[in-house]
Structure 1
Amino acid sequence: MSSSVKILELSGILDGIRGNELRREVSDALANGTEILLIDMKGVNFIDSSGLGALVSAMQMTRNANAKLFVCSISAQVRMLFELTKMDRIFQTFADRDEFNSQILATQ
């Protein structure tokens, strides 16, 4: 059984403006039948509180659609923020896309 997978690549600063774009992208992907969303944060160097809120909102939308959301390639700074805000308990993160592919897509 193959699931519909969508990868969203983020870069730069994840703030209120980019967070609103992320919410729209997630909403559109779910509306188009995406079952597994991967947010690749390799290019993200900073997240503010609005960006963090957008990630939580994306997770809620994904759960409400009975889909799954994963995050990969977070920087050390973003990982520290995730740990400080306990987001590391909410989001399943992977070191990179290869780890995601081997652990999630290989089991589909």
Structure 2
Amino acid sequence: MKPTVSVLPLSGVIDGVRGDELRREVRDIMTNGSDIVLIDLQEVKFIDSSGLGALVSAMKVVRNSGGKLYVCSMNERVKMLFELTKMDRIFQKFVDREEFNRHILSSNQ
């Protein structure tokens, strides 16, 4: 059975306000029956500590619903932030959507 994937593209700065929106969006996605959430960070310029907390909360929502959450398309600044905070050990990340499709979607068919 092919999984239901929802892609959530983010942009700008992920802070407390945007983090709250992110949590709501992920909750809605899971309520609507998605199995996998891919957060595309290509247009994200910066993530503050509240934004990081929102990403962790989003992952918990997805896991508690029996789904999986992945991130992709980080710029160097966001990638460095993930490494410094050790978030890169928590989130499975992909270079871009194509890499995600090759590794995750092709193995689930």
Displaced runs of 4 or more, over 2 A: none
Q: CA RMSD in A?
A: 0.5
Gaps of 5+ in 2: none
TM-score (norm: length of structure 2): 0.97
1:57-97 deviations in whole A, cap 9, x for unaligned?
Answer: 00111111110000000111111111111100000000000
Per the alignment, residue 27 of structure 1 pairs with 27
Per the alignment, residue 75 of structure 1 pairs with 75
The Cα of 1:103 is off from its aligned counterpart by 0.4
Q: Distance in 1 between matches of 2:60 and 2:79?
A: 20
Gaps of 5+ in 1: none
Counterpart of 1:31 in structure 2: which amino acid? T
Q: Distance in 2 between matches of 1:45 and 1:75?
A: 8
Q: Distance in 2 between matches of 1:3 and 1:98?
A: 17
Per the alignment, residue 41 of structure 1 pairs with 41
Q: Distance in 2 between matches of 1:24 and 1:4?
A: 19
What is the aligned residue count? 108
Q: Distance in 1 between matches of 2:35 and 2:25?
A: 14
